[in-house]
Amino acid sequence: MIPRYSRPEMTAIWSEQAKFERWLEVEIAVCEARAAAGDMPIEAAALIRANATFDVDKVNEYITITHHDMTAFLQSVADSLGEESRFVHFGLTTSDVWDTATALQLRNASDLLIEGTEGLISALEQLSRTHRNTLCPGRTHGVHAEPTTFGLKVAVWVAEMRRNRERLQAARETIAVGAISGAVGTHASIPPAIEEITCHALGLGVEHASTQVIQRDRHAQFVSTLALTGASLEKFATEIRGLQRTEVLEAEEPFAAGQTGSSAMPHKRNPEKCERITGLARLLRGYANTAMENVALWHERDISHSSTERIVFPDACLVLDYMLALFTDITEGLVVYPERMRENLDRSYGLVFSQRVLLELIETGISRQEAYDLVKRNAMTAWREQKPFLSLLLNDADVASRLGEEQLRALFDYEYYLRNADSTFERLGLA
């Protein structure tokens, strides 16, 4: 991922140095497991633990000769050892090391992503509490429906991000498995006991049945979970973008003192951060599609997945890590305009109270269809002639014969829509 969208901690997990460090960690763990099982000298395992290292530049130099990452890496490791180097990678295949080491990287990346998710949840919870009673138009199809509160709108985001946290935790468990099963996964050259000891030492689960690779449905689940989390962030960002439109202007993403929105128009305050979230979510969905394509490999393995995973795994983790941090900043700095929300509510001539009038008319004993027609004809007149809905109802003889003036006026009360809002906050533990 380009530096613009990469944060240091996640970048460090996916550096070439870190990748080879994880490879070496796996190789050493296998040697120590074999030594514990009596398959190699304990002294040799101790020397490997103490002295084994590699040089990234040398690895890359060897790759120009071998055209193979693992043999180049092993040559560099052998350069740091004596004759005990013959025990390194004994009975293993490239995927044993690569896939197990990748599981370590993905596990560590998951921890950062879960941490980022928790930070965002905390920020959303605070925003939701602050605006639990801030009335705003509820919109369906982009049109005023009934009043809601901005806090309830954000409470939906809180619940969704909590689900994303659970999904990330589940994906972490799914991906954090190793396989030390040798060529085509038969354990012919490396016993299952060594695999179990190694994975336990590394803090990983064991792939109960592998071929020459850990099965890619695990990785597809992981990347798809990242994409789904990104889709949620896009959903939230899209809402803010809509609310920041000039003619709406109910909320606005942070805009720093020296920030500029346009090279041509000095007045512009664009929702560029939220638009960035939207664009990056598209990348994640593309990565998820690639991860799905990687599930079907030929027979016990091929390497059609390898080239894409070198890009997809680091980039997907880096992108979501960045998106979580960015949207947390947006949430914490979001500017909310309650007065504008109320002003916008009033702009639809009181039509947001149409269902209350409908239900009250039904309570008088007429059919739902008759009540609906009475309300609709006045509502359409209010839209067309830009007249107050209440005034039209008060002057409609058919309505007035069933609902008195005081009764009608009482229906046009915004506070009515707050009467059960607390239940949502109580369910979420935000009361």
The DSSP call for residue 86 is: G
- The answer to whether the CB of 282 falls within 8 A of the CB of 332 is no
Question: 251-252 and 335-336: which strand pairing?
Answer: antiparallel
How far is it, in rounded angstroms, from Cα 277 to Cα 229?
11
Catalytic-role residue among 15, 262, 391, 423: 262
CB within 8 Å of 63: residues ≥ 6 apart: 69, 72
- The answer to whether the CB of 128 falls within 8 A of the CB of 66 is no
DSSP per-residue letters across 273-330: HHHHHHHHHHHHHHHHHHHHHTT--STT--STTHHHHHHHHHHHHHHHHHHHHHHHHH
| Sign of the torsion formed by the C-alpha atoms of 306, 307, 313 and 314 | positive
The DSSP call for residue 143 is: E
How far is it, in rounded angstroms, from Cα 351 to Cα 146?
8
> How many secondary structure helices (H) and strands (E) does the chain include?
18, 6
- At residue 53, φ and ψ (nearest 5 deg) are -155, -175
Side-chain-side CA neighbours of residue 24 (13 Å):
26
Mark whether 354 is an active-site residue: no
Residue among 373, 372, 365 at smallest CA distance from 402? 365
Catalytic-role residue among 141, 208, 267, 299: 141
What are the structure tokens assigned to 16, written together? Answer: 């070439």
How far is it, in rounded angstroms, from Cα 164 to Cα 233?
10
SS3 335: strand
- At residue 124, φ and ψ (nearest 5 deg) are -65, -40
CB within 8 Å of 315: residues ≥ 6 apart: 1, 283, 287
Beta strands in 80-213 (DSSP E): 135-140, 143-149, 177-178, 205-206
Mark whether 187 is an active-site residue: no
By annotation, the residues acting in catalysis are: 141, 262
